[in-house]
Chains A and B, each alone.
Chain A
């Protein structure tokens, strides 16, 4: 079974500083990995995904994530945080070789990012 862990419930960072939101995964094969962001009273918004190819994936709003197969991690990063980046971030995984119930995404429990002015 596939699973995702986001070890930090809360991450605080000062505006202008780099940010990292951590994610580790467990899946039987090569994973498809995603990051979504959720603002209050809004749906999930897609940020970026890793399917294959370069380990460093660039996404929306200046975010990027690095796929590390040996560490089974897919940490989200941004070089310079903005106050408007404050939101709830979810990492998700899907095993592309599975069928049935594994077609869906498995989400982590989320990390609340707060960027302080």
Chain B
């Protein structure tokens, strides 16, 4: 596609449920980032992939969060045993460069997760 695509756009999960959020980056983009944006806040970094390699996962808030990009294109962010504080918009971004430079990174529309 022409841009970064995320699905689903909206997800409502019951507390304790597992969820999986998908990101389709722009074709050929080497770098892929996940961010978490709480209501009224700026996005905060979660994790970074260069192709299939997860080079940085320092922003993942707990071991309930797991991300993968097995073939270096589509990425999935999984949250196990969701809690109310996980409610946020999850943004995916991709960029062409392999240095992880974020130069002109393109963002998807995000997935709004609400945990009830």
Contacts and interface: CB of A to CB of B under 8 A. Distances in A.
Nearest to A103: B100
B100 A36 contact: no
A104 B102 contact: yes
A46 B106 contact: yes
B109 A104 contact: no
Interface string B86-116: 0000010100000111111111111000000
Interface residues of A, number: 26
Contacts of B91: 43-44
A9 to B, nearest CB: 9
A107 interface: yes
Residue in B42, B58, B91 with the greatest tally of chain A CB atoms within 10 Å: B42
B43 A94 contact: no
A42 B4 CA distance: 12
Interface in A61-117: 90, 92, 94, 96, 100-101, 103-110
A90 B104 CA distance: 14
B55 interface: yes
Most buried by A among B6, B41, B105, B109: B105
Nearest to A91: B42
Identify which of A4, A105, A106 gathers the most chain B CB atoms within 10 Å of its CB: A105
Given A43-B91, A43-B108, A43-B109, A105 B102 contact: yes
Contact of B59 (A94, A101, A107): A101
Interface string B1-23: 00010100000000000000000
Interface in B39-98: 40-45, 48, 55-56, 58-59, 91, 93
A94 to B, nearest CB: 6
A22 interface: no
Interface of B: 4, 6, 33, 35, 40-45, 48, 55-56, 58-59, 91, 93, 99-110
Interface of A: 4, 32, 34, 36, 41-46, 49, 51, 90, 92, 94, 96, 100-101, 103-110
7 contacts: A45-B107, A100-B56, A100-B58, A103-B56, A105-B45, A106-B45, A109-B40
